[in-house]
A and B are shown apart, each in its own frame.
Chain A
Amino acid sequence: MQINFDNERPIFIQIAEWIEDAILAGAFPEETQIPSITEFSVNYKINPATALKGINILVEEGIVYKKRGIGMFVAAGAVKKLKEKRKEQFYDNFIRKLVDEAKRLEISKDEVINLLERGYDHEYRN
């Protein structure tokens, strides 16, 4: 799997987010092992200290945990925790930006709501 690192944010945060996405997508189910620091490092050509720092964020949040001598595992309840966290960020990451851009482009509130509905309809059609 590919990660396209951007320059705007530290790499370790992007690694952590990538693992979160993979957990949410079911690629790493709860109670299964995630790749090792070395695997992350070699695969994405990043310094092992960077990979470790990214994974440590998730350890601190209780999303993954370490089994001594074996490796890192996805914690039970990780998906629920991540969904809650992402929901909290949803307003800041998406809604605020959407409203800002709509105002810049002078798109009315009603138009935005129409567009949202169109988005959902499109989703159903597929």
Chain B
Amino acid sequence: MLGRNGAGKTTLLNIITNRIFPDTGEVLIDGIPVKENDDALKKVYMMSENNFYPAGMKIKEIYRWTKEFYPDFDTEYANKLADMFELSLNKTVKSLSTGYNSIFKIIIALSVNTPYVFLDEPVLGLDANHRDMFYRLLLEKYSESPSTYVLSTHLIEEVSNVIEHIIILKKGKIIKDESREDLMSYGYAVSGKVSLVDEFIIDKNVIGIDSIGGLKSAYIMGQVPKGNLPEGLEISKMDLQKLFIKLTDN
């Protein structure tokens, strides 16, 4: 799930997991309303950026309590991950750096074994090595025992190949909800001399323009046109980040 700051990602996740309540509408998980419904909520784990754990609690205590609420929580696996990330289980929540604050929650999310796992900015504060480790662990976990993992993130390039489906939020509304492949096959850029580009884009759905000197690039949503292009124009694909920026620019 992608969206600019303030687009409503965390709000949506909080509504889905019954932490805040919607003004209208309701959330169903496997057809069951989540509102004050423990059976539905048990199927869902949400890792949030904010900390709701007691600051003085030790990590191993948090893991023990998580197991109380989520019986499928795999303590052995969590300990193994803590070892890999070099997280000391005897540390208290308040003594952790921003990175390790994310890490201890990532570990819960990967060990909790609920059918739905929501991760709100899971890599916040993580160094490049730890982010790399997280993506690999997530893919390994997902390959071996598939659950639905929903990630909200700003590091688009990093997750671009990891994800399967993309939801883009803009100002509280879902503006895209499709497979990564469909979305990626749908956007392209055409570049060349201003006059040629202007002529080419007359009947196209243009989502953005860059100009430099006498050259112009237009970003277009739609299938790449088949057949010959006018001489002097060049087509290139847009990467996910570029596409996102163009779709969510004001």
Contacts and interface: CB of A to CB of B under 8 A. Distances in A.
A114 interface: no
A41 B144 CA distance: 11
A48 B161 contact: no
A45 B181 contact: no
A37 B143 contact: yes
A7 interface: yes
Interface string A17-44: 0000000000000000000011001101
A50 to B, nearest CB: 7
A10 interface: yes
A5 interface: yes
Nearest to B135: A45
Interface in A47-68: 47-50
A56 to B, nearest CB: 14
Nearest to A37: B143
* SS of B interface (majority): helix
B136 A42 contact: yes
A100 B162 CA distance: 37
A62 B144 CA distance: 26
- Size range of the chain B interface in the assembly: 20 to 34
B147 interface: no
B139 interface: yes
A76 interface: no
Given A10-B181, A47-B161, A49-B164, A42 B140 contact: yes
Interface in B100-133: 132
Contacts of B239: 7
Contacts of A46: 139, 161-162
A82 B50 CA distance: 53
B139 A5 contact: no
B237 interface: yes
Given A46-B162, A47-B163, A50-B161, A41 B143 contact: yes
A16 interface: no
B205 interface: no
Interface in B139-165: 139-140, 142-144, 161-164
A47 B237 contact: no
B139 to A, nearest CB: 5
B211 interface: no
Contacts of A11: 161
A53 B144 CA distance: 17
Contact of B237 (A8, A37, A41, A48): A8
Given A7-B236, A7-B237, A42-B136, 9 more contacts: A5-B161, A8-B237, A37-B143, A41-B143, A42-B143, A45-B135, A47-B162, A47-B163, A50-B161
30 contacts: A7-B236, A7-B237, A7-B238, A8-B236, A8-B237, A10-B181, A10-B184, A10-B185, A11-B161, A38-B139, A38-B140, A38-B144, A41-B139, A41-B140, A41-B143, A42-B140, A42-B143, A44-B161, A45-B132, A45-B136, A45-B139, A45-B162, A46-B161, A46-B162, A47-B139, A47-B180, A48-B139, A48-B143, A50-B161, A50-B164
